[in-house]
Amino acid sequence: MKKHNFNAGPSILPREVIEKTAQAVLDFNGSGLSILEISHRAKDFQPVVDEAIELFKELLNIPEGYSVIFLGGGASLQFCMIPFNFLEKKAAYLNTGVWANKAMKEAKGFGETIEVASSKSANYTFVPKDYVIPTDADYFHITTNNTIYGTEILTDIDSPVPLIADMSSDIFSRPMDVSKYAMIYGGAQKNLAPAGLTFVIVKDELLGKVSRYIPTMLNYTTHIENGSMFNTPPVLPIYSALENLRLLKAQGGLVEVEKNNIAKANLLYNEIDRNPLFVGTAAVEDRSRMNICFVMAPGFESLEADFQKLANERGMVGIKGHRSVGGFRASTYNALPIESVQALVDCMKDFEQLHK
In whole angstroms, what is the distance from residue 9 CA to residue 42 CA? 31
Q: Which of 99, 138, 170, 286 is catalytic?
A: 99
**In this predicted structure, what is the pLDDT of residue 44?**
87
In whole angstroms, what is the distance from residue 283 CA to residue 1 CA? 35
- CA 115 to chain centroid: 22
Q: Which of 20, 138, 166, 320 is catalytic?
A: 166
Is 57 one of the catalytic residues?
no
**In this predicted structure, what is the pLDDT of residue 356?**
79
Is 286 one of the catalytic residues?
no
Containing 306, the helix (H) or strand (E) segment is helix 304-313
Give 114's contacts (C-beta < 8 A, 6+ positions apart): 90, 91, 92, 93, 134, 137
**In this predicted structure, what is the pLDDT of residue 298?**
96
In whole angstroms, what is the distance from residue 125 CA to residue 294 CA? 11
Q: Do residues 244 and 194 lie in contact, with contact meaning Cβ atoms separated by under 8 Å?
A: no
- CA quadruple 275, 278, 282, 283: dihedral positive or negative? positive
Where are the alpha helices (H) located in 210-286, listed in sequence order?
220-225, 235-250, 254-274
Domains of the chain in start order, with CATH, are 15-250 (3.40.640.10), 253-354 (3.90.1150.10)
In whole angstroms, what is the distance from residue 132 CA to residue 114 CA? 11
In whole angstroms, what is the distance from residue 106 CA to residue 111 CA? 10
**In this predicted structure, what is the pLDDT of residue 213?**
97
Q: Which of 138, 170, 190, 264 is catalytic?
A: 190
**In this predicted structure, what is the pLDDT of residue 325?**
87
Q: Report the greatest alpha carbon distance in the chain.
A: 66
Is 273 one of the catalytic residues?
no
pLDDT along the chain (356 residues), means of 10: 94 98 97 94 92 98 98 97 98 98 97 97 96 98 97 97 98 98 98 97 97 97 97 96 98 98 98 98 98 97 97 97 92 98 98 94
Q: Do residues 153 and 144 lie in contact, with contact meaning Cβ atoms separated by under 8 Å?
A: yes
pTM: 0.97
Q: What angle is formed at CA 217 by the lines to CA 215 and CA 219, rounded to 5 degrees?
A: 65
Classify residue 194 by burial, with Cβ atoms within 10 Å: 0-12, 13-18, 19+: buried
Q: Do residues 44 and 31 lie in contact, with contact meaning Cβ atoms separated by under 8 Å?
A: yes
Containing 285, the helix (H) or strand (E) segment is none
**In this predicted structure, what is the pLDDT of residue 43?**
86
**In this predicted structure, what is the pLDDT of residue 131?**
97
Question: Strands (DSSP E) along the chain, which ranges?
Answer: 4-5, 66-71, 90-95, 112-118, 139-143, 145-146, 151-152, 163-166, 183-187, 198-203, 278-280, 291-296, 316-317, 328-331
